[in-house]
Each structure stands twice: as structure tokens, then as C-alpha cells.
Amino acid sequence: MENVDLQLQETLELAAKLFISYGLNILGAITILMIGWWFAGHARTFSIRAFQKTKHIDNTLTGFLANGIRYLIIIITVLAVLDRFGVETTSFVAILGATSLAIGLALQGTLSNVAAGVMLLFFRPFNVGDYIEGGGEAGTVKSIGLFVTNLSTPDNIEVIIPNGSLWDSAIKNFNFNPTRRINLVFGISYSDDIQKAMDVISRIIESDTRSHKDPEPIIVVGELGASSVDLITRVWCNSEDYWRFRWDLLKTVKEAFDTEGISIPFPQTDIHLHKRID
């Protein structure tokens, strides 16, 4: 009986030692994990605020770098947790590297998006806030991530494009240059006074402060069409004024043509019937 009690006591003592040892490790690991996760989130927020205050890093890189810092802290936290349980982190890093290689071979398409994201951030064909066309879509750039780029269309639809598709296609950046040229064609009737129509267009352009004097506006006869004399009009303006200025020009020129008696002819076809006499 005494032997049984002695064995039971030894078992309880061993269990208590194991519980204290592993329990403390588990508690420490949970504490490290919680602190690391909390610190990673706050480090990301702090990084975004710090990057936004400096002029050397713009909004395009802010989110990318902040997320990179967060993931780095999480990786360090996981390694610290493993070290708490006695896992050799050096061996773990080697295993992680080999695993990453295997996963990389299996996820070549996904990793190509990461590589494309890095190229987009390095060569900077566009920034956050630019209106672009690429990958078969068009919209304002909201963010550039590791895998995808988020666009917002003019009618407020969110478009998510894989970075690989965007990098492999032609990219049009409508905000890259500070100025743009408006190209319009106004058709007038063959019976109208060409010079009068050109003077009307020129007067409207000169009276609008959004038009640039250098390069100077161009108004020329571009083509003698099937039913109209086509006047090509080219005028430069700031990129942010492009669409509003274009719409206002179309409206104002039409109203001025109506006032001056200049007609904009409709496409028409003259049919001549010949009576056959047998």
C-alpha cells in the first residue's frame, strides 16, 4: 500500500512539473503571440501615418511598405513562439525555405503577380489616384497590393486586377502628363461660310480661361465629307479640366452655331429617279 501511495505521489509530482513547465511555455507562447499580433497591427498603422507625413514616400508605396512591416513582425513573432517550445529556429528557417521553394513552383502564377506588383512599384507607370486603362479595365487607382491592383470605375464599381495581367498589358495613364489635347470635329453645311464658322469656334476657345495659348489652338478644314465640311479643332488644357472643358465646348459651339445661322447637316443621300421610255 505504501508503494502504491509512493508511486502515486511521484506521478503527481511529475505531472505537476510537466504542467508547470509546459503550462508556462504555453502561457508564454500565447502571450508572445498576442503581443506580436497587436504590435504588428499598430506598427502598420503607425507606419502609414509616418509615411504619409514624409514627402519622400508617396501614397503608392505607403500601403505596400506598411503591409510588409506587419508581415515581417508576424514572422518574427511566430519564430519566437517556436523558440519558446525549444524548436530550432535555424532548422525551421531552412525547412521553411525548402517549403517556400516547393510552394513557389506550384504557385508560379501567384508569384508572378507578386513580381509584377514589385515591378509596378519600382517603375511607377502610375500612382494611387491616377486614372488608368490596362488589363482590359479602366478606372482610378485605389491601391497597389502584393497580388492585385484595385481600381474604381467612374460609376463607382470596384475592379480588382491581378498585377500580372496589368503588367503584361499596355497601360494608359491619363494623369501622367499635366496637360492634354482636346480633339473635336465640327461639321458645317457646304452652303455655310467656312471662315465665319472658324471665327466662332476661335472666339469661344479664346474666351475660356481653361484653354492654353501655348501650344496655340488649331482650327483647320480637315475634310470635305459626303454631307459636310469638317472643321478639325485642337486645343490644349490641364489634364484635370479635360472632360468638363470638352463637354462645355461641344455645347457652347452648338449654341453659337444656332445663333449665327450656321447649320450642322445630317448625313443625307440624294436619290435621282430616271424614267425609262421604251
- Domains of the chain, residue spans: 2-106, 125-173, 179-260
Strands 131-134 vs 148-152: parallel, antiparallel or unpaired: unpaired
Eight-class DSSP state of 240: G
Cα first-last separation, the chain: 140
Give the CATH number of domain 125-173; options: 1.10.3720.10, 3.20.20.60, 2.60.120.330, 2.30.30.60. 2.30.30.60
How many Å apart are CA 175 and CA 197, to the nearest integer? 32
Of 222, 234, 249, the closest CA to residue 181 belongs to 234
> What is the average pLDDT score of the chain?
80
Question: For 98-119, what is each residue's pLDDT tens digit?
Answer: 666 555 554 455 677 878 888 8
Of 258, 260, 256, the closest CA to residue 205 belongs to 256
Q: Indicate if the pLDDT at residue 1 is higher than 70.
A: no
Q: What is the mean pLDDT of residues 38-44?
A: 78
Of 85, 145, 139, the closest CA to residue 113 belongs to 145
Task: Give pLDDT, residue 114.
Answer: 78
157-178: b (≥16 Cβ within 10 Å) or e: eebebbbbbbbeeeeebbbbee
Q: Indicate if the pLDDT at residue 264 is higher than 80.
A: yes
Q: Strand order in 218-224's β-sheet?
A: 179-188, 229-238, 218-224
Give the CATH number of domain 179-260; options: 3.30.70.100, 3.40.50.2300, 1.10.357.10, 3.10.129.10. 3.30.70.100
Asked, colleague to colleague, whether 125-173 and 179-260 share their fold, the answer is: no
CATH class of 2-106: mainly alpha
Question: What torsion do the CA atoms of 103, 104, 105, 106 make, to the nearest 10 degrees?
Answer: 50
Name the 3-class secondary structure at 174. coil
Which residue carries 486603362 as its cell?
A: 133
Task: Give pLDDT, residue 103.
Answer: 54
How many Å apart are CA 174 and CA 163, to the nearest integer? 19
pTM: 0.60
Task: Give pLDDT, residue 50.
Answer: 75
Question: For 201-241, what is each residue's pLDDT tens digit?
Answer: 999 999 999 999 999 999 999 999 888 999 999 999 999 99
Q: Indicate if the pLDDT at residue 87 is higher than 70.
A: no
At CA 107, angle to CA 102 and CA 110, rounded to 5? 140
Question: For 144-201, what is each residue's pLDDT tens digit?
Answer: 877 889 999 999 999 999 988 888 889 999 999 999 999 999 999 999 999 999 999 9
Q: What is the mean pLDDT of residues 118-125?
A: 83
Phi then psi dihedrals of residue 202, to 5 deg: -60, -40
Residue 93 identity: V
How many Å apart are CA 223 and CA 65, to the nearest integer? 54
Residue 175 identity: N
Least confident range from 21-30, 156-165, 244-253: namely: 21-30
Q: Indicate if the pLDDT at residue 49 is higher than 80.
A: no
Query: In sequence order, what E strands does the chain have?
Result: 131-134, 137-144, 148-152, 158-162, 172-173, 179-188, 218-224, 229-238
